């Protein structure tokens, strides 16, 4: 098992967000600053961070859809 530093995890998370920009990751690309990334990543391993990003993106998409339906 490879153990990444927090800086490496943040960089990979940013790359993941860029690669999936049109699939709901635009929020991470457009809105997250270094402090936000540090807080979001915390002490989580890479796969948990990516999973949390997907969950957050899905929740945000559902919220936006609800607002648009009103």
Question: Residue 64 domain-assigned?
Answer: yes
Q: What is the pTM of this model?
A: 0.84
Q: What is the DSSP letter of 15?
A: H
What is the number of structural domains in the chain?
1
Question: Residue 1 domain-assigned?
Answer: no
Question: Residue 32 domain-assigned?
Answer: yes
Question: Residue 46 domain-assigned?
Answer: yes
Cβ atoms of residues 50 and 20 within 8 Å: no
Cβ atoms of residues 57 and 25 within 8 Å: yes
Q: How far are the Cα atoms of 3, 5, 47, 49, 70 from residue 55, in angstroms, in the given order? A: 23, 23, 12, 10, 23
pLDDT in tens, 3-58: 899 999 999 999 999 999 988 899 999 999 999 999 999 999 999 999 999 999 87
Question: Residue 28 domain-assigned?
Answer: yes
Question: Residue 18 domain-assigned?
Answer: yes
Question: Residue 61 domain-assigned?
Answer: yes
Q: Which residue range forms the structural domain that includes residue 56?
A: 6-69
């Amino acid at each position: 098992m490879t153990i990444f530093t927090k800086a490496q995890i943040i960089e990979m998370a940013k790359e993941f967000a860029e690669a999936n920009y049109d699939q709901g990751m635009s929020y991470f690309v457009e809105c997250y600053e270094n402090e936000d990334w540090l807080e979001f990543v915390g002490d989580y391993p890479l796969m948990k961070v990516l999973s949390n990003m997907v969950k957050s993106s899905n929740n945000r998409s559902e919220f936006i859809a609800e607002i648009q339906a009103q």
